[in-house]
Structure 1
């Protein structure tokens, strides 16, 4: 991956003389609301004006073929992630559940798709035991 334009933060500042200008921050490349409040308080103390808003601008990158090389989650064969079968799965990361994309080669995809075909599942067994609303006894 080759970075064409790095990410940056665009800030709107209202200066003490009432003039509003848009500035690209020279050091910070990503801003959060907490950081925005801290910088805003420091600017007001220094008498340099007040920040009114910010906008995070994402980097522009050029992807190379090597960036799309991956491995099958089941067998480990190398594959191209642009054309491989993928599905979203849940994984644990840092004590939290996060959604990840798992890539599979054609052979493993066929195996995984056929797992459980023709088997009676617990849901199907419960569905067959649903009681009818018809009374089982005749009332006199």
Structure 2
């Protein structure tokens, strides 16, 4: 989808890069399953707010958010993976007994400082990105430590 702008009650948003399986979500304004938000001058706090926007406004249509925060001065890259997680409902009542609620949740993070990777590998679940079971020869997308080290050479 590239950087398509989407509209929701929470406003307009354009991811730095987005992906959707076009066979299951054929319309240009369909929600992506994967969103990448990257910032060099943007703070990590702003990127996290962006990830929450996607997850809160998509009605659980966006499955994975990858945040990439680059520091040119520190020569480092910080990655965070976000998705909707089930967390205990602190406000459960007899009338509304849901013990768990969906909440934007950080599910993984890793750092690249110089040529040192901490927290790798980074995996993107096939079923969440493609919205179907993998066929023979298909599977999760895994960025292993060696591949992440190659990313570091670009910083």
Which structure has more helix as a fraction of its residues? 1
TM-score grouping bracket, smaller chain normalisation? under 0.3
**Larger RCO: Structure 1 or Structure 2 (Cα < 8 Å, ≥ 6 residues apart)?**
1
* Pair member with larger Rg: 1
- TM-score calculated relative to the size of structure 2: 0.19
Q: TM-score, normalised by structure 1?
A: 0.20
